[in-house]
Amino acid sequence: MAFTNPTPYFGLPGYIGTDKPTFLGDFNTAFSTIDTTMQDNKLAAEGAQSAATAASAKADSAVDKSDANAQNLVILDNRLATQTTRIDGIIADQVINRYRFDNSPATGSANIYATILRNIAMFDYEVVINSTDTGYITLATMPTNIFNLPPSVSLSQVYVGPAWGRLTDGSVVPVFSAVQWTGSATNFNMQRLNGAAWVNGMQVFGEATHLFT
């Protein structure tokens, strides 16, 4: 080696006064090192540029998709508003009456309501039981024919759905609700699962729906 102080990273020649440079050795090797390193840097820079271009294209595509999604959301919002208006109109047109059943003090205090559409009866209720009987008990009655049946026709109990009863100790048990048209009134009845006895102070709450023609 005809130089004393090589550069720290690529070993290029660094001379002192007593060194004797050689063109075929020192200089050719140094330029070869420089040329190779610059080519590697060029390839790395081109790769970085390609990656940056691809990332930019993906970002532009994401922006386009975001804009399209925003437009679709506006369209969906408009459609939903239109459908909601139509549904509200249908419900308003279909609802015939909303009734409140009268309490039956012998078996409990009740807040029982029936919303009658043209062929659907929807019930919502909160009840406190004052009975220890078994089987179905009549919790409330209403002197109205919600089923639009002829007065001469009686209707056996129609199961309208499950509900939940809370015992005085806080535990929850299933119960079943039913309605009945006697020919002069509509009764709202309930029964505990498997015909178990009712418990004084038991609370019952729920909703039920019945489709009829």
Residues 86 and 156 in one domain: no
Residue 35's identity, in one-letter code, is D
Q: What is the CATH number of the domain that holds 188?
A: 2.60.40.2460
Confidence at residue 90, expressed as pLDDT on a 0 to 100 scale: 46
Q: What sign does the CA torsion over 197, 201, 207, 212 have? A: positive
Q: How many residues does the chain have?
A: 213
The confidence band for 151, taking pLDDT boundaries of 50, 70 and 90, is low
Q: What is the number of structural domains in the chain?
A: 2
The pLDDT, as a whole number, for residue 106 is 61
Q: Is 123 in contact with 205 (CB distance < 8 Å)?
A: no
104 in the same domain as 90 = no
Q: What is the mean pLDDT of residues 186-204?
A: 84
Judge if 89 and 104 occupy the same domain.
no
Q: Are residues 111 and 69 part of one domain?
A: no
Confidence of residue 18 (pLDDT cuts 50, 70, 90): confident
171 and 187 in a single domain? The answer is yes
Is the domain of 65 the same as that of 8?
yes
Range(s) of the domain holding residue 60: 1-94
